[in-house]
Structure 1
Amino acid sequence: MKINLRLCWPALLVFLLINLSSCTDKGTNTENKPNIIIFFTDDQGYGDLGSFGAEGFETPHLDQLAAEGIRFTNFYVPATVCTPSRAGLLTGRYPKRSNLHEAVLFPYSDGGLSPNEFTMAEMLKEGGYTTSCIGKWHLGHKEEFMPNNQGFDEFYGVPYSNDMDNHYYEKIDFQSPPLPFYRNTELIESGPDQQFLTKRYTEEAIAQIKNRDQKPFFIYLAHNMPHTPLFASPAFKGKSKNGLYGDVIMELDWSAGEIIKTLKEEGIYENTIFIFTSDNGPAKGSAKPLRGKKAQTWEGGQRVPGIISWPGKIPKGKVTDEFVSTLDLFPTLAKISSSAIPKETQMDGIDLSAFLLAPEKTILPERPFFFYARNGDLEAVRLGKWKLHLKKSIGWNEDSDGEFQVALYNLEVDIAEKNNVANQNADTVAKLTALAKGFDGDI
């Protein structure tokens, strides 16, 4: 039987076009999912960014990022120190839910983030993303707790803080090893030269972006700096008017700039969500004009600089005082990436996607935020403009200041928490007290 190719050709052409169109659609769908970068610094204060009023150094790249997206002036983290804050970010849940709300993990700690917790990396990986953790982990250094067992395809960095490098803990007679540096599960170095940590993490992020596959990527870049001890590479030493601390921040800004430059060169900047923030308030830097610092539940301990940019979608140059926190990032990225969260997972954040896309037309709902201290106690609660402090473990000297009294502040007019108006607002004090005790009892 002879086949007349001239007669078959039109049908064959239609068949090929339909299939080609089908393949193209699938590829476009994959490409339309935005890449995601969370640029997470360690102990960088509210006032340690140019666009937030920094003094003695410049942060032009992060300031430009803010100009191209949304800058948040009421951006919070759920803890005053490293480990619980990171747990909250990666789970979208208050750290108490994962039993990581007290202090931080040490090189002698046996615990970590439970593998039963559903992490942001697991969520995005199931949603079709490649996932990478670069930098400081600090959610457990035993293998079962490490990034490769928590949804990350790649890990390049250290398991805990840089001050734990070869540190002797006198109270328990424990000598920690030189700071371990890993690529995935392989220990590739012990006691790395810390002046090059920021540079190495930046180069790794750039390499991963340039060598990416066809999938969208999620990079969680958790810098060690500006946690003490402070280190800057020779190229940045002496660059600022604010000493080594300013040098360190300027190098972090350079890091962000180099990554943004790479995204632009690769033609993917427009479709990359870039989130910048810090894990808690400053130990050495500035939280101006806020009261308090790292390890304290005053505003300076948990209100941090926050920027979210997505040039293809988020309008430019917006500054908002809407209340948000890192707990909101998980459900927000789930929505944007069309990724699923198990129904049984109790999330504490909300989806911000509608607000990000139309900040001038969207008002976020009023909701409470709970401030857990370094010792694990619930010390304060915020609802709308009101913040109530119930107790104080750090940032209050009983010997000189007397016993801590319940304190209420109107943050709309008293961002520095100077004027206690509890006596004039008994109903608000009662309402917030009941709210805090009810939540802490249920969680």
Structure 2
Amino acid sequence: MTISKRIHKLFIVAAVLYLCGCSTIEKDREPNIILIFIDDMGWADLSSFGNTDAKTPNIDKLASEGISFGQFYVNSPICSPSRVAISTGTYPQRWNITSYLSHRADNAKRGMANWLDPAAPMLARSLQKAGYATGHFGKWHMGGQRDVDEAPEITEYGFDASLTNFEGMGAKLLPLTKDETGKVGQIWEKAEILGNPVTWMQRSEITTGFIDAAIQFMRNATKERKPFYVNIWPDDVHSPYWPPFEEYGLAKEAGKRGLYLAVLEAMDQQFGKLFDYIRSSDALRDNTLIVFCSDNGPELGAGRAGALKGYKTHLYEGGIRSSLIVWGPSFIDKKAKGTRNRESVFSAIDMAPSLLAFAGTKASQNSNIDGENVLKTILGESALSRTSPIFYSRPPDRKNYYGFENLPDLAVREGDWKLLCDYDGSRPELYNIVDDPSERHNLAETQSAQAKLMIQKVVSWYAYIEKEKHEISSHRDK
């Protein structure tokens, strides 16, 4: 075939693709990613995870069309460090964020940073550099809260746009409350110091506000033919609980648990709008991955973790195990759709490298990532777990909490085993977490060799993290 004939043939192929709507080009577009991070929702709070006191049909439908994971972990039992972990793919201890960020005096008292270092290897920034439109909608809590009003803007972490609540810098939605008498109040009245513009709206409707903003952002990205990465991080099921006005009185009569369940169901209804929007378009439905989980365990008396021991702030399973759902009809293995993966063990720090691989990119070479690429497991193509242990240190201000006294300082999950101990390795608790997810039978004495091995690992990890943190701090001071 002569060169001229080859060129002519290429023109014909190109014309056919154009007349067919360029379907091949559309198919090769980078996939969209939505990360939904719920605030203080227990492992067993979704009806698809066993809740019989409330119904969450919209989220349950997501699970029925995707994959649920029974042994997924976040990397802290409290909000700020958990958010750092899933955003960076690193242990939050590296950034000196080990509990919730508060007033600067409280942070200093606990030896913590006031905000996440913008140099952290953000998932959003890596995707932004790869051509993604990136937006954050909802709770931030990684800097800019209470009286910390000089923290970096959320957009300095790799986001093109943001809309947050009172725990972040920049444009925000702030909550109004309305009780059964019709009395209207405000929460966090002085949050305007953390950036404008500010919009006040009913707390029970704020998730819709975040979702509406996120949908508009997605529409704009789609018009510009750009893939999008979007965080939707509501704070609905974090106290104080304010369900819709018409439900408030009846829910209040049922106490804290009743208010919580009413808010949970209202949140599910609001998420229905987002899920319907994604499903309504072939282009979005076939090219979007949704990842849904909670940032830590529930408050005592509100959400529940089923048979798992402990609550928010605890290193026991109830504080760190999270109900993960992954949805993406075109990406998830057909045999895995609607199933529950009960065996794969991985954590939130694995999300960043996995989602970067999903998008066909990766973090910068100098990023010190702790997470592992478990993309095949997330998509149902494999049941492999992460290869390295998952390490934890407790929030420094939570040695005694929710009726638990003298809580362990450190924890590590490796294979079927989980160990908890104090900083010096004393008072070990060893559990075969597969056989004993309720952590009732301490095997530290009968399985002393296993306990000794895991004590050495977690104590060494913590010492290394503390040394690294000190060296970084000293270097910055110079």
Structure 1: segments with no counterpart, 5+ residues: 1-8, 167-174, 393-403
Report the CA distance between 1:253 and its aligned residue: 1.4
Instruction: Return the match for 2:214 from 188, 193, 205.
Output: 205
For the 8 Å contact 2:155–2:161, the answer to whether it is kept is yes
Report the CA distance between 1:405 and its aligned residue: 3.0
Q: How does 1:293-332 map to 2 (within 5 A)?
A: 293-315=311-333, 316-321=337-342, 322-332=344-354
Quick one: distance in 1 between partners of 2:293 and 2:193? Answer: 24
Residues 73/181 of structure 1: CA separation in 2 closer, same or farther (3 Å cut): farther
Quick one: distance in 1 between partners of 2:118 and 2:387? Answer: 32
Report the CA distance between 1:39 and its aligned residue: 1.1
Quick one: distance in 1 between partners of 2:355 and 2:411? Answer: 28
For the 8 Å contact 2:73–2:321, the answer to whether it is kept is yes
Quick one: distance in 1 between partners of 2:215 and 2:234? Answer: 14
Return the letter of the residue paired with 1:226: V
For the 8 Å contact 1:35–1:217, the answer to whether it is kept is yes
Report the CA distance between 1:105 and its aligned residue: 3.4
Structure 2: segments with no counterpart, 5+ residues: 108-112, 177-186, 398-407, 466-478
Return the letter of the residue paired with 1:82: C
Q: Percent identity?
A: 28
Q: How does 1:213-224 map to 2 (within 5 A)?
A: 213=223, 214-224=225-235
Residues 13/52 of structure 1: CA separation in 2 closer, same or farther (3 Å cut): same
Return the letter of the residue paired with 2:190: P
For the 8 Å contact 1:388–1:429, the answer to whether it is kept is yes
Quick one: distance in 2 between partners of 1:256 and 1:158? Answer: 18
Q: How does 1:6-405 map to 2 (within 5 A)?
A: 16-17=11-12, 27-28=25-26, 31=29, 33-106=30-103, 111-141=114-144, 142=149, 144-160=151-167, 177-180=189-192, 186-189=196-199, 192-212=201-221, 213=223, 214-234=225-245, 237=248, 243-267=258-282, 268-283=284-299, 284-315=302-333, 316-321=337-342, 322-359=344-381, 361-375=382-396, 378-391=409-422, 405=427
Quick one: distance in 1 between partners of 2:352 and 2:125? Answer: 11
Query: Number of aligned pairs?
Result: 410
What do residues 93-112 of structure 1 show as CA deviations (whole Å, max 9, x unaligned)?
Answer: 00011111244334776721
**Does the residue aligned with 1:345 lie in a helix, a strand or coil?**
coil
Q: Which residue of 2 aligns with 1:398?
A: none
Residues 133/235 of structure 1: CA separation in 2 closer, same or farther (3 Å cut): farther
Report the CA distance between 1:364 and its aligned residue: 2.6
Quick one: distance in 2 between partners of 1:307 and 1:54? Answer: 15
Quick one: distance in 1 between partners of 2:104 and 2:259? Answer: 27
**Does the residue aligned with 2:37 lie in a helix, a strand or coil?**
strand
**Does the residue aligned with 2:131 lie in a helix, a strand or coil?**
coil
> Please, what TM-score do these two structures have when normalized by structure 1?
0.84
For the 8 Å contact 1:210–1:266, the answer to whether it is kept is no
Quick one: distance in 2 between partners of 1:198 and 1:238? Answer: 21
Quick one: distance in 1 between partners of 2:85 and 2:247? Answer: 32
Q: Which residue of 2 aligns with 1:401?
A: none
Return the letter of the residue paired with 2:315: T
For the 8 Å contact 1:30–1:215, the answer to whether it is kept is no
Residues 58/320 of structure 1: CA separation in 2 closer, same or farther (3 Å cut): same
What do residues 389-436 of structure 1 show as CA deviations (whole Å, max 9, x unaligned)?
Answer: 1039xxxxxxxxxxx832111111111111111110000110000110
Report the CA distance between 1:159 and its aligned residue: 4.2
Residues 11/298 of structure 1: CA separation in 2 closer, same or farther (3 Å cut): closer
Report the CA distance between 1:225 and its aligned residue: 1.5
Quick one: distance in 2 between partners of 1:39 and 1:434? Answer: 35
Report the CA distance between 1:192 and its aligned residue: 4.5
> Please, what TM-score do these two structures have when normalized by structure 2?
0.78
Q: Which residue of 2 aligns with 1:3?
A: none
